Structure 1
């Protein structure tokens, strides 16, 4: 925790103070970093995509919410004077940075070349610590999809790890992809005991109890723990690829999908980019609790800038998604991996299914409101199941 009485003048996570200072002065939302947060020149700052967590409580702030009694997340894109930290009526959280509205690149070749160059540069920089701390070694969270495969290709000596229940899609896909890429793969088999015993740790670290966040965070957390136990202090991830490059069906189906408000594929993609701060906060907190620092090269400003210039038909076209990223991966990963479909992590690992199963076995039936979250709360407080008790 850092308060006004005891703090370094500049205490930034993720980027050089000089770069961030220039970004504040010029209002440049994509100054060439992989995200940043912290204190700079008497102000709290958090990058435009919220890739690094930052919390406040009264006149105190912290990177870790467990250091504060009542933490509130600082909005992405903020530049907040410290004297306004405790002022709940302040307008200091009006975004200082917003993602630029970029016209689509009309030349297909130039658009694809820009994405390929940015992706290869940033994934290649992971090994020499260009997107992470300058010390220690790196492992890769690997699910067998194109996102994590491209990241793994950038660090060819790094071991890969996957987590999931026995027989799940993600483990099978990761094994096939690792064999095709001739990569070492560590498999973390998730069990019901892992759900019962580790969910409280995740809730403590992230503050999340909902049945969407936890099945996403648990496989990451367990992979991070295994990598840390094996001596690695950084974990490279493919996070951000679905949001940037159109990995969701609701983006591909815009404007016909009711889950998005936008009437174009590019507009729907921009809506999804707005979910990154909340997702990044969850993932970073979970992985730090596991003992590793996340490295997300596909969320680097250079990749974001290239992706923002894509026309809609290079984001999604019919049933094809992430077209530009798959083109960038051509010749970098095996064709079977480049074109592979992948399930969302909570489903591909079976964690969502098995968490629901445990809740029902404990008496929390699906007809009950929030039956899984109510079960999670019993795991956290150790009270044991009381499905008929108050929600």
Structure 2
């Protein structure tokens, strides 16, 4: 069992207790059932074929035809049957926003303390740092190197430098400046590690993978990441524009946020597999059960305020950990802020996959994977 003891998870299954102060779990229960937590923070796979033995693994590459166990489910290897064990709680929202922010701040303190403090951070931990509020809050908890990945002129490199200055962490910042050759080399590696060739997944996973690769090369075994904050706290434009945005079905901002939270298992599977393949184990304190509980109780106006500012409550709570210039700074998505998406588009066109083609970047990724096999 990864992420918690098998006995504690077994009790949670019995009690249908989805959140109990873990940061995600998966593995075999004492009775032989396999389980994955409600947000899918720990991926786990079984053989897809009904004729295959009930083999399972945390790494899909260990299996001939891997299929992920769905988040929040248990799998019975003998019956090859999957059953829901957990559902995400749907608490009443907090009526007092100030109290909601205090509760969130307390949850963040507890979660960050479990990662380490500036004086006691373990030597095997580094931080993926883009200069945004999410990674900055994580970085505030540990005295560890901060890795930012991007092309020299990229938004993320400049933002990380600015945030590091504001946090008095300039000496900790390690800039991994990318070249076209770095991206070209990493494309088949990331596609193979994640089992995905679509453009968006590769664009997102590739900067994470390259940051992790550099941290592992420097001797670090774990990489702290800020994953989950956008989903939990209303960081997406489509959430802010609900119900008008056609990308969400929900009729309210809070409903749209829960809808987006439902995408986390698929995203986290991609990110965890990419990071592990690069040589590090991810640590995601913003996905701690305590933080998730606090996020689920936030009212819509604490996710997106009347002016359209996203992640309102999280930014207010973040002021305890980072300067205002970091807490209230907007950030680009990693694939755009690092300029990796731009470079993948250029490499695809250079290889003959023109924009007029259907999904030309995905076609390029597939071709690179085939060449590298």
What TM-score, normalized by structure 2, do the two folds share?
0.94
Aligned counterpart, 1:180: 166
Aligned counterpart, 2:94: 105
Structure 1 position 109, deviation (Å): 2.2
Structure 1 position 247, deviation (Å): 0.4
Structure 1 position 146, deviation (Å): 0.5
Structure-2 separation of matches of 1:304 and 1:382: 42
Structure 1 position 167, deviation (Å): 0.5
5+ residue gaps, structure 2, are none
5 Å-filtered alignment, 1:214-229, equals 214-229=202-217
Structure-1 separation of matches of 2:2 and 2:233: 26
Following TM superposition, the consecutive aligned residue runs of length 4 or more in structure 1 with deviations greater than 2 angstroms are none
Q: Judge conservation of contact 1:56–1:74 (CA < 8 Å) in 2.
A: yes
5+ residue gaps, structure 1, are 1-11, 86-91, 129-133, 385-391
Structure-2 separation of matches of 1:383 and 1:252: 41
Aligned counterpart, 2:134: 147
Match of 2:39 among 39, 44, 49: 49
* Deviations 1:144-166, CA, capped at 9 Å, x for gaps: 011001000111x1110000112
Structure-2 separation of matches of 1:51 and 1:104: 24
Structure 1 position 248, deviation (Å): 0.4
* Deviations 1:199-231, CA, capped at 9 Å, x for gaps: 111111110111001111111111111111111
What TM-score, normalized by structure 1, do the two folds share?
0.90
Aligned-residue Cα RMSD (Å) equals: 1.5
Aligned counterpart, 1:189: 177
Q: Judge conservation of contact 1:47–1:76 (CA < 8 Å) in 2.
A: yes
Match of 2:59 among 45, 57, 64: 64
* Deviations 1:279-329, CA, capped at 9 Å, x for gaps: 111111111111110000000100000110001100111320101111111
Q: Judge conservation of contact 2:76–2:82 (CA < 8 Å) in 1.
A: no
Count of residues in correspondence between the two structures = 361
Structure 1 position 93, deviation (Å): 2.5
Aligned counterpart, 1:167: 153
Aligned counterpart, 2:296: 308
- Pick closer, same or farther for the CA change 1:136–1:39 going to 2, 3 Å: farther
Structure 1 position 14, deviation (Å): 1.2
Mean Cα displacement is larger for which, 290-299 or 191-200? 191-200
Q: Judge conservation of contact 1:162–1:171 (CA < 8 Å) in 2.
A: yes
